[in-house]
Amino acid sequence: MSAGLKFVCVIPSLEIGGAENQLVTTINELATDNEIFLIVLSARVSLLAQVNLPRERILILKKERLVTLSGNFLPSSFVAAFKISQFLRRKNVRLVIAHLPIAHWVCRLAVNICRAGLRKVHLVNYHHSMNVLSSDLLFSKLFIPINKVLSHVSDAGNICVSNAVAKDIARFTHLKNQPVTIYNFAMDDRTNSNTLYLNKSGFWIVIPGRLEAVKGQLHFIQNLISAFYFNEFSHLNLKFIFVGGGSHHLPMEELVRSKDWQSFFEITGSVTHSEMLSYMNHADLIVIPSLSEGLGVTAIEALMLGKPVLASDAGGLPEVVVPGKTGTLYKAGDAYEMIKCLKKVLLGDCRIDSDLQREFYLKNFTRQQHIATLQQYLRTFSN
């Protein structure tokens, strides 16, 4: 049996979210055979109780300005980087896995502080999403070029959740080595998809995920209300259920209420992951209307459950939802095509074999595959 790995994971916050949930699960899977440390840049740590690490291996920096990109961002970056470099020296850690762009930036600074002290540290950046910073913003015009130069002198490797993300980061990162794609995995298996009793009637269209701009739910509901003829499918007794909470919760509720269409729509608010899976397991159709997406864990979970999927082609979603094989795709942001594809699915013109979905899921997106591939990649730096 080979020796265990020793590394630290760095992430801006540890609240409910795709990258955060994946990291917590990965740490817990690897913690038994490896020496793992965790640094959180902010005080937003609602998931911390789920992390199975000794308290002495965890550092909470409480640098809120790093998460909000507010004033004093640069001074906060250097303070955080210095504290990380001290932690690395104190714990004798030489491998850093940085999750999400702000952690990439801070850890690049920390690695160079370590080098100034003649201490070599390997930095591997984990990329979970497509870039969403507008190049027109003054912050981006300054931040992106500096960060790109830093990546050239700091990065030892890059992990991407999809081939689409790997292609995207090349625009903002000076890649010395080819990034490796390691697909995300479904957070729970099918045994955790019946934890919530739901009184179902009619045809359920479930739209799971955080209610945020990049996830596209507000765009989806606006176009449904303006262009979808519900009477055409009155025999199905359609119910659109948005499962999740977020900044777009209230605007979506107000829009539905203003049109007096509460009978067609339900917005659950924040739910646990197992509760979300319960809604998905009761769904007749799962819709993922993302405007930007790294890969799409909810799409993976739809495959795991063998449910019909209608998704946009944003980011890495086409690597999960393969037209004619595992689901139906439409062009992200295209309202006309979205409505057209939704109607085709409801008319039964896009039937998918659930056994083929499950087979595709087992071949590409299981937790076991993810953990094995990740460990193999990280061992190349531990040597």
Are 282 and 199 spatial neighbours (Cβ–Cβ below 8 Å)?
no
Q: Round to whole Å and give the CA distance between 322 and 192.
A: 25
The confidence score (pLDDT) of residue 119 equals 86
Are 285 and 260 spatial neighbours (Cβ–Cβ below 8 Å)?
no
The confidence score (pLDDT) of residue 181 equals 97
Q: Round to whole Å and give the CA distance between 247 and 235.
A: 33
φ/ψ of residue 158, rounded to 5: -140, 130
Which two structure tokens, joined as six digits, stand for 93? 């850690």
148 or 111, which is more confident: 111
pLDDT at residue 203 above 60? yes
Q: Residue range 170-195: average pLDDT?
A: 78
pLDDT at residue 346 above 80? yes
The confidence score (pLDDT) of residue 195 equals 60
Percentage of the chain lying above the pLDDT 70 cut: 93
8 dihedral zone (left: phi>0; alpha: psi -120 to 50; beta): beta
pLDDT at residue 193 above 80? no
Show Cβ contacts of residue 94 under 8 Å, excluding neighbours closer than 6 positions.
6, 88, 119, 120, 121, 122
Which two structure tokens, joined as six digits, stand for 368? 């076991």
The confidence score (pLDDT) of residue 231 equals 77
The confidence score (pLDDT) of residue 320 equals 97
Q: Identify the weakest region by mean pLDDT among 2-16, 65-79, 175-189.
A: 65-79
Q: Pairing between strand 203-208 and 180-181?
A: unpaired
* pLDDT band at 113; cut points 50, 70, 90: very high
pLDDT at residue 133 above 60? no
Q: Residue range 47-69: average pLDDT?
A: 90
pLDDT per residue over 75-98, tens digit each? 899 999 999 999 999 999 999 999
208 or 65, which is more confident: 208
The confidence score (pLDDT) of residue 126 equals 96
Percentage of the chain lying above the pLDDT 90 cut: 68
φ/ψ of residue 221, rounded to 5: -70, -35
pLDDT per residue over 259-297, tens digit each? 888 889 999 999 988 899 999 999 999 999 999 999 999
pLDDT per residue over 43-53, tens digit each? 999 999 999 99
1 or 192, which is more confident: 192
pLDDT per residue over 136-182, tens digit each? 555 566 677 787 888 888 999 999 999 999 999 887 777 778 899 99
